[in-house]
């Protein structure tokens, strides 16, 4: 009897486990494209500590949102590395922009991994606090800030997986990749970690 129950339980447990992981995998997608065009509730901006705009994805988001975005972020008094601040999306399809300042890569001995993990954790938390159901991330810190791409994608996937395990509000987390190389790195991290 025990043997039979054990087998049934084991099958059910593994099925439930697979179902949960499967559901979580369904809540994450990886696309190639321009984050300013994403039709999601919130997009994340890979900003700098000043929140006064810049190049890369920061520049693209400010250009697409219009000058009101800078007027709002100018009032925020900056953003420490690893933290996040929220603004309206203005002319963007997204209702919110969550600005985060990623770490500048300095060889990996200046707490860069934890600071980057904090960017993802704090942006996800802030999105849920503002009622967002869908959020899109760029590849934070892997451009001008020179964070190694594969290392960054594994941190992004790991933090997202941990967050989604304990959250049932967010319906979709989209990683928006600029170019084939970034897309492949995210796809590999998705398979490896989620």
Q: What is the DSSP string of 37-89?
A: G--SSEEEEEE-TT-S--SHHHHHHHHHH-HHHHHHHHTTT---TT-EEEEE-
Residue 175 interacting with ligand APR (CB under 6 A): no
- Count of CB atoms situated within 10 Å of the CB of 8: 9
- Count of CB atoms situated within 10 Å of the CB of 93: 13
Q: How far is the CB of 159 from ligand APR (least distance, A)?
A: 16
Residues in the chain: 194
Q: How far is the CB of 41 from ligand APR (least distance, A)?
A: 17
Q: How far is the CB of 165 from ligand APR (least distance, A)?
A: 26
Give the separation between CA 136 and CA 48, rounded to whole angstroms: 18
Whether 130 and 96 have beta carbons less than 8 Å apart is answered as yes
- Count of CB atoms situated within 10 Å of the CB of 190: 19
Given the complex with ligand APR, which of 61 and 124 has the nearer CB atom?
61
* Strand ranges inside 69-194, DSSP E: 84-88, 96-101, 134-137, 172-177
- Print the binding letters for residues 98-137 with ligand APR: x by CB under 6 A, - otherwise: ----x-----------------------------------
Instruction: Show the tokens assigned to 40.
Output: 């999601």
How many whole angstroms from its chain centre is CA 54?
Answer: 20
Query: Can you tell me which of 27, 36, 42, 116 binds ligand APR, judged by CB under 6 A?
Result: 36
Query: Can you tell me which of 84, 92, 176, 183 binds ligand APR, judged by CB under 6 A?
Result: 176
Residues 45-74 touching ligand APR, rule: CB under 6 A, are 46-48, 54-60
Residue 142 interacting with ligand APR (CB under 6 A): yes
Residues 75-104 touching ligand APR, rule: CB under 6 A, are 102
Query: Can you tell me which of 27, 28, 30, 35 binds ligand APR, judged by CB under 6 A?
Result: 35
Which residues contact ligand APR (rule: CB under 6 A)?
A: 34-36, 46-48, 54-60, 102, 138-145, 176, 178, 182
């Amino acid at each position: 009897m025990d043997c039979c129950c054990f087998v049934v339980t084991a099958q059910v447990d593994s099925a439930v486990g697979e179902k949960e992981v499967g559901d979580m995998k369904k809540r994450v997608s990886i696309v190639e494209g321009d984050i300013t065009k994403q039709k999601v509730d919130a997009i994340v901006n890979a900003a700098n500590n000043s929140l006064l705009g810049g190049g890369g994805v920061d520049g693209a988001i400010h250009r697409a949102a219009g000058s009101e975005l800078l007027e709002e972020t100018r009032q925020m008094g900056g953003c420490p590395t690893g933290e996040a601040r929220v603004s309206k999306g203005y002319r963007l399809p997204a209702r919110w922009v969550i600005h985060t300042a990623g770490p500048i890569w300095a060889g990996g001995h200046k707490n860069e991994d934890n600071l980057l993990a904090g960017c993802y954790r704090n942006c996800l938390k802030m999105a849920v606090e503002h009622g967002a159901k869908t959020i899109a991330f760029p590849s934070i810190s892997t451009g001008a800030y020179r964070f190694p791409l594969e290392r960054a994608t594994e941190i992004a996937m790991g933090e997202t997986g941990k967050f989604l395990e304990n959250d049932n509000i967010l319906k979709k987390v989209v990683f928006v990749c600029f170019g084939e190389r970034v897309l492949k790195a995210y796809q590999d991290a998705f398979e490896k970690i989620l």
